[in-house]
Structure 1
Amino acid sequence: MSKAENSSKMKVEVWSDIMCPFCYIGKRHYESALAKFNNASHIDIVWKSYQLDPTIPEDVEKRMTTPEYLSTRKGMPLQQVEAMQQQVTLMAAKAGLEYHLDDAVVYNSFKAHRVIQLAKTKGWGDKAEELFFHAHFTLNKDLGDTDTLVEVGKEVGLSAEEVHEALTNENYAYEVKQDIQEAQQIGVRGVPFFVFNRKYAISGAQPVEAFVETLEKSYAEWQKDNPTGGLEITDGNVCTPDGDCQ
């Protein structure tokens, strides 16, 4: 079990791709719900890798912008795509996020997912997701570029050597592929996809209230099966078996 996972807490698993605009919005909606949830300290979030388009070439001379990519892939006029993106940008703003979709570049996200998998082993999965989302949607970084991954990885807390380890050690590639395979097995058709205690799921950037309701319902059931899971200890003066009293 990685340090990011804690068996004494209820797990919320999230399948996500860092190039998915609704994934970042969904993250904010979930966080807003968690802030309203009385037992937030007993929830452990586990981020799972997912690729919306694994066919994107990893190495190209010039990256397409998001509008160019969507126009080509969907066969839609560029003007129509830009209008759609304006609506997404407004939705993001309501969640407190700053999007610059017209200048965002498109890359194969597999390498970025490898780095996030390594960050998860250190308990930094949520921090990594946040910084990678911000780098893509707000700063328009090319996270398909190794030097950029090192740069953002350092912000997460990883060393340059650790980022290169993530990109060369096939164990991290395996973890990415396992997450994607698991998504297929449980019926994930799009992201974000939130799974609560392996019993309830929320697909998409649903309203905050939907997350609150699902958190309350799933946690109440989890707590019945884990009666000691909610134990909180207030420290005071104690004596230990080794004779130390303080």
Structure 2
Amino acid sequence: MKVEIWSDIVCPFCYIGKRRFEHALEKFPHADQVEVVWRSFELTPDYQPVPGRNVYESLAEKKGITVAQAKQMSDNMADMAKGLGLDYDFDHAVPTNTFLGHQLIHLAAKHGKQGEAKERLMAAYYLQGQNLNEIDTLTTLAAEIGLDAEEARAALTAGTYAEEVRHDEYQAQQINVRGVPFFVFEDKYAVSGAQPTELFAEVLEKVWDESQPANPAPVMLADGPACGPDGCEV
């Protein structure tokens, strides 16, 4: 079974949705046969970081609200994440453009480490206050998950995986993705948003059952007297 997930690195609901989906997958009996593919999605592709500006100020400007309201929204999100073992630290988060980060995730995919890269970048942003605007930081994070640091630096500098990011975003437009996280199961069913773990579990079961070959034996509608290897029924 294939599950494609469109999300952004700095989307708080995306990290929450990731955890909820993972918890459902942990209990799914066929988890080893589920291929998870992370697709790129930039919530603010034209965002230009302003040195010294914090998350609350950036959010306030984007939403047209006060800084105090932005902080309250962030606090509410942090409370939700805490229930999943995620300690969001908005006070130290560094607002970033995520284009480079998505490119790194595509590089990691070429080495079978896409999931590790997605998790590492989200943790670096939300839990550790690292600056994902810097190639030096991204290169260090790449090395931490076992990628070659110099290969990562060269790829990020040259934009080697920029087209892969754009292709993911083009695909999102084609299937009408309006918000993230957005989960697509076997190109057939979609789940939008950070849904409860229980819902993800139900969808996994449903899609798995439907994807299995049909039972070749016909359904018995009537059963009456007949002859078999041991003789005929009387």
CA contact (8 A) 1:82 1:102 kept: no
How much does 1:151 deviate? Answer: 1.1
Matches within 5 A, 1:146-161: 146-161=135-150
Matches within 5 A, 1:1-246: 10-57=1-48, 60=50, 62-224=51-213
How far apart, CA to CA, are the structure 1 residues paired with 2:158 and 2:146? 19
Partner of 1:240: none
Structure 2's unaligned 5+ residue stretches are: 217-234
Identity %: 47
Query: Any idea what the Cα deviations from partners look like across 1:126-160, whole Å, max 9, x if unmatched?
Result: 11001101000000111111111111111121122
Query: Any idea what the Cα deviations from partners look like across 1:31-85, whole Å, max 9, x if unmatched?
Result: 1101121111110100001100011126x5x152211101111111111111111
How much does 1:200 deviate? Answer: 0.8
How much does 1:169 deviate? Answer: 4.0
Secondary structure of the residue aligned to 1:103 is coil
Between 20-29 and 150-159, report the one with greater CA deviation: 150-159
How far apart, CA to CA, are the structure 2 residues paired with 1:162 and 1:222? 39
* TM-score, normalised with respect to structure 2: 0.88
How far apart, CA to CA, are the structure 1 residues paired with 2:160 and 2:167? 10
How far apart, CA to CA, are the structure 2 residues paired with 1:118 and 1:100? 27
How much does 1:224 deviate? Answer: 2.4
Secondary structure of the residue aligned to 1:97 is coil
How far apart, CA to CA, are the structure 2 residues paired with 1:83 and 1:133? 21
* TM-score, normalised with respect to structure 1: 0.84
| Aligned amino acid, residue 26 of structure 1 | G
1:76/1:189 CA distance change after superposition, 3 Å: same
How far apart, CA to CA, are the structure 2 residues paired with 1:106 and 1:151? 19
Between 165-174 and 99-108, report the one with greater CA deviation: 165-174
Query: Any idea what the Cα deviations from partners look like across 1:141-183, whole Å, max 9, x if unmatched?
Result: 1111111111111112112211123213444000000000100
Runs of 4+ in structure 1 deviating by more than 6 angstroms, as ranges, are: none
How much does 1:102 deviate? Answer: 2.5
| Aligned amino acid, residue 171 of structure 2 | E
Question: Across the two proteins, how many residue pairs are aligned to each other?
Answer: 215
How far apart, CA to CA, are the structure 2 residues paired with 1:120 and 1:206? 25
Q: Of the two, which has the highest radius of gyration?
A: 2
Structure 1's unaligned 5+ residue stretches are: 1-9, 228-246
Let me know the Cα RMSD of the aligned residues. 1.5
How far apart, CA to CA, are the structure 2 residues paired with 1:215 and 1:166? 35
